[in-house]
Amino acid sequence: MRVEDDDGVRRITFDRPQVKNAFTAEVARELADTLDELTAETHDAAVLTGEGDAFSAGGDIQAMAERDETAREAYQRVRDTLGRVAESVLTAPVPVVARVNGDAAGAGLSVAAACDFAYATKDARFAASFVNVGLVPDAGGTVTLPRLVGLRAAKELAFTGDLISAERANELDLVNDVVPADELDATVAEMVSKLVSQPTESIALAKEAIHANLGRSWRDGLEREAQAQTMAYDTDAHKEGVSAFLDGRSPEFD
């Protein structure tokens, strides 16, 4: 992961293009640490993006296949890694903008959904693909998706794992706008410039109040999400999904 600071804006780039910028526990912790460093005194905004042709493909399937942990260890890892990433984005005292340069799947979709703004290139695709490997949405997905796209659309995304186009994501309010690839940088820069010109402290207070007034606290939501994911890790569906992915075949779920 690359981190660059320029005139009050922190740019964070997922740089594992050989695996479509998939998340590992280590990457998630590093991302959360980087976001937690942001303060209203030192930064005005942050931008998340990916290297290569993907924003992030989500969790690293190879790492999933190699895990050997108890249910308690799995719970603690989920809560302390991708759960913490969502928490860090949602509580960042500056606006966080997702520059979705390519596909955003699994945790990649969830991270983009947690951001305050998201702009995507026209050929980007989105998927809550957790169900395809026998898992439930994490990285805040069960918290943010229903609030962004509505209950029925969130269930459709989570239950099917289907890829949707950038245009469909825009219709669902997963992103603020969809633009040609050669206009993405300018579009993101324009919004960041506008945000930088506003009082950071006011934005931080507004962000906190908006999130607090959404109903059930996202902390409670993330707690339930981590519990659900812990149980999902121990299912035959997850084992079959991972095995099928690594074998290059379609999974056969009971």
* 149 and 65 within one domain: yes
* 83 and 35 within one domain: yes
* 226 and 178 within one domain: no
* 163 and 240 within one domain: no
pLDDT at 142: 96
pLDDT per residue as tens, the chain (254 positions): 999 999 999 999 999 999 999 999 999 999 999 999 999 899 999 999 999 999 999 998 888 889 889 999 999 999 999 999 999 999 999 999 999 999 999 999 999 999 999 999 999 999 999 999 999 999 999 999 999 999 999 999 999 999 999 999 999 999 999 999 999 999 999 999 999 999 888 899 889 888 887 877 778 888 888 888 888 888 888 999 999 999 999 998 87
* 30 and 153 within one domain: yes
pLDDT at 95: 97
pLDDT at 4: 98
Angle, nearest 10°, between helix axes 82-91 and 71-80?
A: 30
Cα–chain-centroid distance for residue 136? Answer: 14
Q: What is the pTM for the complete model shown?
A: 0.92
* 187 and 205 within one domain: no
Number of domains in the chain: 2
Which domain range does residue 221 map to?
A: 199-247
Residue 67 inside a domain? The answer is: yes
Residue 253 inside a domain? The answer is: no
* 223 and 106 within one domain: no
Residue 252 inside a domain? The answer is: no
Residue 254 inside a domain? The answer is: no
* 191 and 204 within one domain: no
Q: Which CATH number does the domain housing residue 151 bear?
A: 3.90.226.10
* 129 and 160 within one domain: yes
Residue 164 inside a domain? The answer is: yes
3-state secondary structure the chain: CEEEEECCEEEEEECCHHHCCCECHHHHHHHHHHHHCCCCCCCCEEEEEECCCEEECCECHHHHHHCCCCHHHHHHHHHHCHHHHHHHHHHCCCCEEEEECCEEECHHHHHHHHCCEEEEECCCEEECHHHHHCCCCCCCHHHHHHHHHCHHHHHHHHHHCCCEEHHHHHHCCCCCEEECHHHHHHHHHHHHHHHHCCCHHHHHHHHHHHHHCCCCCHHHHHHHHHHHHHHHHCCHHHHHHHHHHHHCCCCCCC
* 220 and 97 within one domain: no
